[in-house]
Structure 1
């Protein structure tokens, strides 16, 4: 079924989602909506007395742009997941191929004979843990992690590091060795050595428990890897996504908003610098776009090449109305279907785990998150099969261990809602 979008009247018609929607058609409608938004927003601003109907019309168009953006992201993510979630080729390693075959039998029939020994032979584990479920095959774990990356906003931009321990420790240099200029026969004095600080990233456990009927499992044509990845990806993405933004680090990753903050002019390592909006509860009444210019230049030039903005949909709706000193809108729609929208030429990602705009909050983050934030994935996703929990269905208790935290405090800046 072909998906039809609202006409240029932009009456915020309800959306009927259809699989296989054309992202280029969505983009064309989104760009047309933005042109209409600019025209009507100008009429609203130019009015001597604000017309309530005109304001409502602008808000409807703004909402339609937001809906097109979400729909475009959804379709692009769906296409990406299809590319990576169709199953992996059989391993060329005989031990892993045998483990994969045995795991498939366990998953469908519950037969466990020899599976623990095959885990060890495949070098997936050296431990015997009969009550902790079984490790999924390497190909299945890869599929789950890759599909997860298409639905988790923060995971898609941060650095992701697979580890084999419960904690990852990283040494960070606080400054390079000093040097100096000397003549050919001048004395050389001893130079200072760099100072190192240690960062630790412990992992915590998240879980999902999808159900399947035995009839479905008996169907040899079902792709177990793709099915499990699809079932657990949303749950994992929601759990870890919230933690990457606001997690306190206790039995979960530590989020970017849980660290101490400091005005960017007084930035110090171990804290995240911020600039202010200029308004006590929102943007400044005069030159509101200056806050984004300040945020952009508050990040060192070396980090701006791969930088992007992250904010909630609600915040983006407000930002979309901002203009620079020349009357140009800060926000621009994508130029191609696969690309994100931009602010000041930098990609904008929406993550509703970011707070909405209110006094004292940090609704916008800007930075090179690949250099600034580290996600550690403990190698090994476990599945515990339970055919007794619900009659006629089999529960698959699936666990994954993940941690995260800021690894470079210079690479991330925040926008704070405050007058000064």
Structure 2
């Protein structure tokens, strides 16, 4: 890390201060010796008791200061040895040519500290041990950002390795890796039908009826029969956005790819938000969720199969759910449920004591199954509770359609909110159930 001129001047001034303290002490001793010699010359051989007392005091003073000097110098040597050993104990922090130079600089600075401000006696706590050095490293980043208003904690940490203004000379390490919180989500998009459009909504024709028929004799004339009726499903696209702001200095001095980090974090957040809407969105400025339709078997409704147990899942309830779906849809059907629901379902047994859950071998492409059907974890499904729609079973490719109008777009604006850079990010997406008989929901009983 480069050191600016002010830091160099401050360090030079401090070192000069420590040298001046030693020089003043030496000058004082020299003056006292000269005074003693003058007294002896003046007295000659007739030294009276008063002069003799002065000479004794001067001698005692010189002896005391000499002892102090010797003690201080010995403490410096001992402190230097202890400091060097402590530096070598800090794993991984002192290696390489550059690190050796920085360590040497910190070493010399600490040597000056040991003899500074007339504190010639050695204080063992000045030498940084492992805990003290770790505390210093912890305070290093905030220290650099607050030179004028340093906190007590930072001063204490810095004093274990150097004078506060000399802390720049002690190396620290910052990892480029960021530990991030993990968020669970759902992946209905992977199993639904996904269509990209160039307008603001998608219209899907829907065959809602059946052709009429009749039986007729050999010579009878046929009459007109009914034709099927058509309806349509409309899926509008909705816009989500995010606009985080970052200072220009953060972009320059952050120590990692701030641009890439923002883009990735916003993209991941958008993915979780849209996934939640595909299950629970109310259709107002967002997709219509799978779990938000009325119960029933008519068009626009999804049948709900009661679990058969008070506030829990049951084996009978799972069988009822599977066999409520038409065979046509079971060919591509799967379960969707929350992770904790999977845990409870794995414990279910049939009447012969056999587990309904069959373990698979995911690494070899064989997923676990429930009654022979794959199970997908979806954390946006409700937790098992009274009246909760805890499980979905069906052919989700036929049941649910997702509409993409526009992928994630980013407008990076460093001009309109100086000194901040704005990251205006947008995405337009929609979703809704289009085939209501292709999916069934398990409702947990209330009592």
Q: How many residues align?
A: 258
C-alpha displacement of 1:186: 3.2
Distance (Å, rounded) in 2 between the aligned partners of 1:390 and 1:269:
50
1:388 CA displacement: 5.8
**1:79-228 equivalent positions in 2, closer than 5 A:** 152-182=186-216, 185-209=219-243
Higher relative contact order (CA 8 A, sep 6+): 1
3-state SS of paired residue (1:257): helix
In structure 2, how many angstroms separate the alpha carbons of the residues matched to 1:346 and 1:227? 39
Give the corresponding residue for 2:280. 246
Indicate yes or no: 2:442 matched with 1:418. no
- Corresponding residue of 1:55: none
SS at match of 1:291: helix
8 Å Cα contact 2:290/2:432 also seen in 1: yes
State the partner residue of 1:341: 368
The CA deviation string for residues 299-320 of structure 1, in whole angstroms up to 9 with x for no partner, is 0000001111111111111111
Q: Tell me which residue corresponds to 2:344.
A: 318
Structure 1 residue ranges without an equivalent (≥5): 1-149
User: In the alignment, what sits opposite 2:388?
Assistant: 361
Q: Distance in 1 between matches of 2:378 and 2:302?
A: 19
Give, in whole Å, the separation in 2 of the partners of 1:235 and 1:269.
33
- Distance in 2 (alpha carbons) for counterparts of 1:273 and 1:198: 20
Secondary structure at the residue paired with 2:401?
Answer: strand
Seen in structure 2, the aligned counterparts of structure 1 residues 255 and 307 have a Cα distance that, compared at 3 Å, is same
TM-score (norm 1): 0.56
Aligned residue for 1:413, secondary structure, equals: strand
Contact preservation (8 Å) 2:186, 2:276 = no
How far is 1:180 from its partner? 3.9
For residues 340 and 392 of structure 1, the distance between their equivalents in structure 2, rounded to whole angstroms, comes to 52
Structure 2, unaligned runs of 5 or more: 1-183
Question: Which residue, 379, 404, 415 being the options, matches 2:431?
Answer: 404
Specify the alignment match of 1:259 in structure 2.
Answer: 293
d(CA) in 1 for partners of 2:232, 2:379:
32
Aligned to 1:304: 330
Displacement of 1:358 in angstroms is 1.1
* Whole-angstrom CA distance in 2 between matches of 1:324 and 1:179: 44
- Separation in structure 2 between the aligned mates of residue 234 and residue 391 of structure 1, nearest angstrom: 27
What does the per-residue CA deviation read over 1:166-194, in whole Å, with 9 as the maximum and x for residues that have no partner? 11122211123223454564312111111
Please list, as runs of the form range in 1=range in 2, the aligned pairs for 1:46-85 lying within 5 A after superposition.
Answer: none
Matched, 1:276 2:283: no
Question: What's the CA shift for 1:210?
Answer: 6.6
C-alpha distance in structure 2 between counterparts of 1:192 and 1:182, whole Å: 16
The offset of 1:164, in angstroms, is 1.0
Indicate the SS of the match to 2:432: strand
Aligned to 2:403: 376
For residue 398 of structure 1, report the CA deviation from its aligned partner. 1.7
Output one character per residue of 1:82-114: Cα deviation in whole Å (capped at 9) or x when no partner.
xxxxxxxxxxxxxxxxxxxxxxxxxxxxxxxxx
Higher relative helix content: 2
* Native 8 Å contact 1:375 1:403 kept in 2: yes
- Rounded to whole Å, the distance in 2 between the matches of 1:153 and 1:261 is 24
Alpha-carbon spacing, 1:251–1:175, altered in 2? closer, same or farther (3 Å): same
Distance 1:180 1:254, change over 3 A: same
| CA offset digits 1:16-64 (Å, max 9, x no partner) | xxxxxxxxxxxxxxxxxxxxxxxxxxxxxxxxxxxxxxxxxxxxxxxxx
